[in-house]
Amino acid sequence: MPGGDGTGPRGQGPGTGRGMPGRRGLSGGGGGRGMGGGNRPGAGPVGDCVCPSCGAKVSHQRGISCYSINCPKCGNKMVRG
């Protein structure tokens, strides 16, 4: 660290840091990560729980993780679908 301030030398390294290009301020648009739909944990109250083994679907219930539900057909753990 040349200046002792933790910045290091300029111009070295691959330049693949985790910066935020195109950020438009606090109220501007953009593609933040936020809560959204999808099949990942925390995807919201709508959707289905799906069995990865047999493909059976059960309606997702709010507050209950799909991973804690057993498949009604084969007994395996369900996943978010």
Q: Does the residue 73 lie in any domain?
A: yes
List the domain range (segments joined by +) for residue 81: 38-81
The predicted model gives 23-42 an average pLDDT of 50
Local confidence band at 35 (pLDDT 50, 70, 90 cut-offs): very low
62-78 per-residue burial string, b: 16 or more CB within 10 A, e: under 16: eeeebeebebeeeeeeb
CA 63 to CA 42: how far, in whole Å? 10
| 10 within domain boundaries | no
CA–CA gap between residue 79 and residue 60 (Å, rounded):
10
Number of domains in the chain: 1
> Is residue 79 one of the residues assigned to a domain?
yes
Interval 55-70 mean pLDDT: 93
Q: Has residue 24 been placed in a domain?
A: no
